[in-house]
Amino acid sequence: MNPMRIVARRGVFAVVLAASVIYLTGCASMTRMSTRYKPLHPSNNQSVDFTVNATDGDGISQARLYVYEYALSVVNGMQTATKRNNGTWGLVKTWNFPSNPTSINETHALTGFPASTFLTFLFRVTDKKGNSKQEEWSFAAGDWPFGNNPIPLWGNGAPAERIDVCFVADRTDYATARNMLPDLEALIFDGYHINNGVKMGKKYWQFYYSPQRGFISDFDASPRTMDIPSSVQNSTIIDHAAVIHTTVKRDWASGGNFGTEPTNIGTAAHESGHAAFKLMDEYSGGGHNTSSDPHHNNYNSKSNCESYNTSNGWPAADCQNIEGSWWRPEPSSLTCIMLNDGDAAMPDFERTCINRISWFYSQLETP
Ligand SMILES: [Zn+2]
């Protein structure tokens, strides 16, 4: 094979990627991987489990875990993370798979980290053909030195280029904010991360929790109240907050913030669909609005809805009346999560919403 041609093709491919954000999924020879750690925000010197889950049709030959330990402090008035002297820095574990399994699920525990730690971990998985894929995430460990500021649980980039979600413990259900953390593991890793719209842009989702608790009432309560701590409400990095409660309530949203039970993963993804992507409800009795952004899932006339579908290659006849003058371009037979949030199940975002989500992600990072 002519190496010059490979270089040229890779160059073209890179340009296409930058121009339109292409998501590669479903190819048998690609490594698919997910990573996680536990417990969330480990306390001082508490052992931490790092886990990688990967599949690759070509067979997997190796996995490696790298950990980078930073110390958090205030330097010249700035909250700063600096490499910790004598801290963990680099490769900590290698798994070799001479039988080249098509799937792996490995965990490595590290003894704990002191107060004021910020950790980055990186898993790199290499397939039998020598192709590698990696995931890199960061989180706080040990006592948090920055007061009531939201504590990073899962992130990898500049907040301006990410969707930053802060969880707030409902004070009626959790004696401390930290008591909520075990419930968040499933909500993040087995909730948000299994949603199709989140998965296609997983790197864009960052999660935090508030050291201070809050409160959300039932929708039908009088007065109807939501209390988001000011350090979250006024945060320059948080895009929306979710009050986590275990008492069963009729949930609602206001100002981009919402409440949910941690087990209602579909509710959380639906509400984040409103808050992050400005998608609207596709059911009667929900909130309806249209938008000047491309690909919205509510139209205020049948003809506008039909022209959207026609211009996107979908049947005009798919448009259905929601209520009053409001129309949805994707039919109820598709059962989008914006039509029915699924509560503890996780319905997919469907075609119109997926297009909106793709567009939204493409706006987050400017080349
Ligand atoms: Zn809704």
**18 has pLDDT over 50:** no
Cα-to-centroid distance, 219 and ligand 1 (Å): 13
Cα-to-centroid distance, 287 and ligand 1 (Å): 7
pLDDT at 291: 87
Q: Measure CA 97 to chain center.
A: 30
Residue 2 lies in a domain: no
pLDDT at 367: 60
Phi, psi at 126, each rounded to 5°: -120, 130
Number of domains into which the chain is organized: 3
Examine the domain organization and report whether 270 and 156 are in the same domain. yes
Please state the rounded mean pLDDT for residues 331-354.
Answer: 97
292 — pLDDT class (breaks 50, 70, 90): confident
Cα-to-centroid distance, 280 and ligand 1 (Å): 6
Q: 344 to each of 45, 209, 265, 267, how far by Cα in Å?
A: 34, 21, 5, 7
**Letter string b/e over residues 285-301, b meaning 16 or more CB atoms within 10 A of that residue's CB:** ebebebeeeebbbbbee
DSSP state of 318: G
Examine the domain organization and report whether 161 and 128 are in the same domain. no
Looking up tokens 């419930």 gives 183
Examine the domain organization and report whether 230 and 310 are in the same domain. no
pTM, rounded to two decimals: 0.90
Cα-to-centroid distance, 241 and ligand 1 (Å): 15
**22 has pLDDT over 70:** no
Neighbours of ion ligand 1 (CB under 5 A): 281
Cα-to-centroid distance, 169 and ligand 1 (Å): 21
In sequence order, the β-bridge partners of residue 257 are 254
pLDDT at 1: 28
Examine the domain organization and report whether 159 and 232 are in the same domain. yes
Cα-to-centroid distance, 342 and ligand 1 (Å): 11
Domain finish residue from 146, 176, 192: 146
Examine the domain organization and report whether 156 and 114 are in the same domain. no
Examine the domain organization and report whether 56 and 138 are in the same domain. yes
Say what percent of the chain tops pLDDT 70.
92
Token digits of residue 153: 């649980």
181 — pLDDT class (breaks 50, 70, 90): very high
CATH number at residue 136: 2.60.40.3550
CATH number at residue 226: 3.40.390.10
Examine the domain organization and report whether 250 and 175 are in the same domain. yes
Examine the domain organization and report whether 108 and 68 are in the same domain. yes
* 166 contacts 220 by C-beta, under 8 angstroms: no
Residue 295 lies in a domain: yes
Rounded CA-CA distance 177/241 in Å is 14
Domain finish residue from 95, 117, 146: 146
Residue 195 lies in a domain: yes
Residue 5 lies in a domain: no
Rounded CA-CA distance 256/188 in Å is 19
| Better-scored residue on pLDDT, 365 or 137 | 137
Residue 31 lies in a domain: yes
Rounded CA-CA distance 196/347 in Å is 8
- Domain of residue 326: give its range: 282-345
Residue 355 lies in a domain: no
Examine the domain organization and report whether 192 and 261 are in the same domain. yes
The residue among 72, 131, 76 whose CA lies nearest residue 100 is: 131
Examine the domain organization and report whether 75 and 61 are in the same domain. yes
Examine the domain organization and report whether 76 and 135 are in the same domain. yes
Please state the rounded mean pLDDT for residues 53-60.
Answer: 97
**308 has pLDDT over 90:** yes
Domain finish residue from 257, 277, 297: 277
Alpha-helical runs (H) found in the chain:
3-20, 181-189, 196-199, 230-233, 265-277, 302-311, 351-364
Q: 325 to each of 180, 280, 328, how far by Cα in Å?
A: 42, 14, 10
pLDDT digits (tens, 9 = 90+) for 33-45: 999 999 999 999 9
Examine the domain organization and report whether 115 and 190 are in the same domain. no
pLDDT digits (tens, 9 = 90+) for 195-214: 999 999 999 999 999 999 99
Residue 359 lies in a domain: no
Give the least confident one: 48-57, 248-257, 298-307: 248-257
The residue among 37, 230, 223, 53 whose CA lies nearest residue 141 is: 37
Residue 252 lies in a domain: yes
Strand order in the sheet with 163-169: 151-154, 205-209, 163-169, 240-244, 257-260, 253-254
Cα-to-centroid distance, 338 and ligand 1 (Å): 6
